[in-house]
């Protein structure tokens, strides 16, 4: 109950402080934004005066003198741009860089007036009047944008929401810290369980791979042994067939030799028988002759 009462009192004090601030700072923009708006309006006025002076000088002055004056003004704008760039570098501000760029653009434009008028055949006074209005409208637009940004910033600074949230943030942070600690512990537990499960999965996968490797090695060994046996059987069968073929060839050669020897013997036996018959015939003829 005491904490709730303290919170309510703090809120009431914050609202009172904000009301006091609102009453003091209503319709007041920061000094920086007002200075930027002033510089932009001043730049627009300077550009308008410059171009209008050139238009008036064209009426009662020779062109050679006018060209020299334009070159002098261009040099002045160039020096102003260099000055603003150095200031921006020292102060580290982007607004000063923009003003320096604007000064450089104005100097380049003033140097290119005579060239553009002569090349494209524009009227001198109309061209300068158009350029004056373009620069003035640009500067006024820039001032309006700066004013709207400053107004939005002022409204954001005067809003009640941010300060109320900032006052109530520490209580929420304490509660959130406890929740975060619990979340961290739970995350650590879950991560530990995940790592354990991963380790067990890795072990199971390793064992499975080992068993598969063993089975594959056994299968390959059996295949190799069967293939070696089959090759040995084939080799033995081929060797036996060769031996049988050799024996058959030897037998055939032996039979051939025996047959040849037998034929020769028969021929030799027949030859003496014929001789004996011849001798008998001769003897019989001789006996007949003697008679």
pLDDT digits over 28-57, tens only?
Answer: 778 888 998 999 999 999 999 999 999 999
How far apart, in whole angstroms, are the C-alpha atoms of residue 148 and residue 156?
12
Residues 221, 222, 227, 233, Cα dihedral to 10°: 130
> Given this model, what pLDDT does residue 290 score?
60
What would the pLDDT profile of 80-127 be if each residue is shown by its tens digit? 999 999 988 888 778 889 889 999 999 999 999 989 999 999 999 999
Helix 63-91 to helix 94-111 angle (10° resolution) is 170
How far apart, in whole angstroms, are the C-alpha atoms of residue 255 and residue 268?
20
How far apart, in whole angstroms, are the C-alpha atoms of residue 161 and residue 155?
11
For residue 248, give the DSSP letter.
H
- State the sign of the Cα–Cα–Cα–Cα dihedral 146, 151, 156, 157: positive
Q: Is 27 a residue whose pLDDT tops 70?
A: no
Regarding predicted confidence, which is higher, 114 or 23? 114
- pLDDT (mean) for 261-275: 50
Regarding predicted confidence, which is higher, 230 or 183? 183
Regarding predicted confidence, which is higher, 13 or 167? 13
> Given this model, what pLDDT does residue 216 score?
64
Q: Is 230 a residue whose pLDDT tops 70?
A: no
Lowest mean pLDDT among 176-180, 186-190, 213-217: 176-180
Residue with tokens 């003697």: 290
Among residues 155, 166, 143, the alpha carbon closest in space to that of 33 is found at 143
Element (H, E) at 221: helix 161-290
> Given this model, what pLDDT does residue 131 score?
95
How far apart, in whole angstroms, are the C-alpha atoms of residue 268 and residue 270?
6
HSE, side-chain direction, 13 A CA sphere, residue 182? 6
> Given this model, what pLDDT does residue 107 score?
95
- Token pair in block for residue 100: 């320096």
How far apart, in whole angstroms, are the C-alpha atoms of residue 99 and residue 43?
9
Regarding predicted confidence, which is higher, 2 or 287? 287
How far apart, in whole angstroms, are the C-alpha atoms of residue 233 and residue 235?
5
Average pLDDT for the chain: 75
Residue with tokens 């604007």: 102
Q: Percent of the chain scored above 90 by pLDDT? A: 30
Whether pTM exceeds 0.85:
no
């Amino acid at each position: 109950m005491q904490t709730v009462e303290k919170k309510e009192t703090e809120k009431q004090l914050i609202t009172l402080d904000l009301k006091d601030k609102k009453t003091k700072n209503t319709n007041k923009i920061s000094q920086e934004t007002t200075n930027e708006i002033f510089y932009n309006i001043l730049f627009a006025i300077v550009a308008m005066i410059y171009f209008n002076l050139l238009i008036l000088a064209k009426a009662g002055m020779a062109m050679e003198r006018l060209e020299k004056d334009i070159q002098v003004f261009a040099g002045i704008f160039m020096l102003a741009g260099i000055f603003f760039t150095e200031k921006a570098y020292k102060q580290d501000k982007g607004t000063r860089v923009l003003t320096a760029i604007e000064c450089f653009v104005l100097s380049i434009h003033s140097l290119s007036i005579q060239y553009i008028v002569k090349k494209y055949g524009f009227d001198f006074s109309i061209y300068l009047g158009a350029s004056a209005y373009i620069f003035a409208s640009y500067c006024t637009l820039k001032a309006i944008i700066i004013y709207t940004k400053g107004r939005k910033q002022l409204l954001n600074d005067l809003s009640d929401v941010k300060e109320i949230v900032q006052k109530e943030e520490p209580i929420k942070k304490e509660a959130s810290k406890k929740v975060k600690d619990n979340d961290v512990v739970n995350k650590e537990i879950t991560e530990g369980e995940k790592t354990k499960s991963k380790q067990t999965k890795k072990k199971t996968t390793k064992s499975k791979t080992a068993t598969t490797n063993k089975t594959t090695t056994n299968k390959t060994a059996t295949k190799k042994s069967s293939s070696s046996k089959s090759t040995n059987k084939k080799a033995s069968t081929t060797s036996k067939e060769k031996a049988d073929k050799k024996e058959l060839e030897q037998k055939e050669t032996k039979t051939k030799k025996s047959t040849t020897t037998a034929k020769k013997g028969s021929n030799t036996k027949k030859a003496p028988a014929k001789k004996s018959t011849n001798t008998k015939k001769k003897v019989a003829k001789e006996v007949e002759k003697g008679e």
